[in-house]
């Protein structure tokens, strides 16, 4: 009979492309993965990996076995979810990822609530941009992720994933000291079209959005500086180096010399939790989603109840 952990090791190598990468994902040593694969080769009587330069490649037999392994591991997850649902207890381990402002403005209160209400549930948290966290959930490396969506370019939901709305979140614009529009109660984004901007790293969802949004108002983006954290971005704004689109959820302290102004056509993002369909019946998934919704700041609750124009920061 095929051993489940050995199939999991082979599936991880196929998914991540190397023995060392599989070891990192499985939280074991490279040697442990190699030993599992060697035992699986003896168990099946077939060679599964071949040398390919400095790496390895899967044999035809391994490719066939990986296809079955994917289905087997999915069935195992579904069985575990059904058992947890039958027992009804919120227990076990839940791996969760969220983007930075959600980790700061939403997740801490949710985790505190879960720890109080469901002490048998262990939640492991990591910070990830939605572009990275969604594939990790789809592959089974994470149980859940908090992501963001918007109307001018919706975040595609990979096959097999489900999502639940957490909240809507409005964004304003942060202007540097001395900006000619800094004294206004609100501004139109088109009035800022030719300004220099500050954004997160080029491989992030927020930078992609800013580029597309500025181009949609016929403005070629001028992004001179990139920094992932909003606190750093605001320090650059305070130094007079550009503007920043600033969400309200998880907003850090704003330097006194920075002017935060409303946009006349409000920009807002929609925040979701996503999980695999096989895990939908897990009480821990439902409990975590409920805790995230309960942790939404009071000033954002009304936004979720009212239809909004959905655009991210």
pLDDT digits (tens, 9 = 90+) for 11-61: 888 877 788 888 877 778 888 888 888 888 888 888 888 877 677 888 888
> Where in the chain do CATH 3.40.190.290 domains reside?
91-313
203 in helix, strand or coil?
coil
- pTM over 0.85? The answer is no
Domain 4-85 = CATH 2.60.40.10:
no
Classified as helix, coil or strand, 164 is: strand
Joined together, the tokens standing for residue 126 give 């990591």
3-state secondary structure of 24: helix
Q: pLDDT category, 267, cuts 50, 70, 90? A: confident
**Residue ranges matching CATH 1.10.10.10 in the chain:** 4-85
**301 pLDDT band (50/70/90 cuts)?**
low
The more confidently predicted of residues 13 and 275 is: 275
DSSP sequence for 29-86: -HHHHHHHHHHHHHHHTS--EEEETTEEEE-HHHHHHHHHHHHHHHHHHHHHHHHHHH
Residue 87: pLDDT above 80?
Answer: no
* Reported confidence tier of residue 125, pLDDT bands at 50, 70, 90: very high
Question: CATH assignment of 91-313, given 3.30.70.260, 3.40.120.10, 1.10.150.120, 3.40.190.290?
Answer: 3.40.190.290
Which of the four pLDDT bands, split at 50, 70 and 90, describes residue 208? confident
Residue for token digits 């409303």?
262
For 170-189, give the secondary structure using H, E and C.
Answer: EEEEEECCCCCCCCCCEECH
At residue 85, the pLDDT reads: 61
């Amino acid at each position: 009979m095929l051993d489940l952990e050995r199939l999991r090791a082979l599936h991880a190598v196929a998914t991540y492309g190397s023995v060392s990468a599989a070891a990192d994902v499985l939280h074991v040593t490279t040697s442990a993965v190699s030993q599992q694969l060697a035992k699986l080769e003896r168990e099946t009587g077939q060679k599964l990996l071949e040398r390919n330069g400095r790496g390895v490649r899967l044999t035809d037999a391994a490719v066939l076995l990986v296809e079955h392994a994917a289905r087997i591991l999915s069935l195992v997850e579904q069985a575990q979810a059904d058992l947890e649902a039958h027992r009804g207890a919120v227990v076990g381990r839940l791996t969760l990822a969220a983007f930075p402002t959600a980790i700061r403005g939403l997740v801490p209160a949710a985790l505190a609530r879960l720890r109080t209400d469901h002490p048998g549930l262990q939640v492991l948290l990591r910070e990830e941009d939605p572009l990275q966290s969604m594939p990790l959930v789809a592959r089974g490396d994470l149980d859940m992720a908090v992501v963001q969506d918007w109307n001018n370019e919706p975040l595609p939901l990979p096959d097999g994933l489900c999502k639940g709305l957490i909240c809507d979140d409005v964004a304003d614009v942060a202007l540097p000291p001395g900006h000619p529009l800094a004294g206004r109660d609100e501004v139109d984004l088109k009035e800022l079209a030719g300004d220099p901007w500050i954004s997160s790293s080029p491989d992030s969802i927020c930078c992609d959005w800013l580029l597309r949004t500025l181009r949609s108002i016929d403005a070629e983006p001028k992004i001179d500086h990139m920094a992932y954290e909003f606190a750093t971005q605001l320090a650059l704004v305070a130094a007079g180096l550009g503007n920043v689109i600033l969400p309200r959820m998880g907003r850090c302290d704003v330097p006194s010399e920075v002017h935060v102004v409303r946009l006349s056509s409000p920009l807002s993002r929609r925040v979701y939790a996503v999980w695999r369909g096989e895990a939908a019946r897990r009480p821990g998934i439902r409990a975590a989603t409920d805790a995230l919704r309960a942790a939404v700041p009071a000033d954002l609750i009304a936004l979720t109840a009212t239809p909004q124009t959905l655009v991210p920061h």
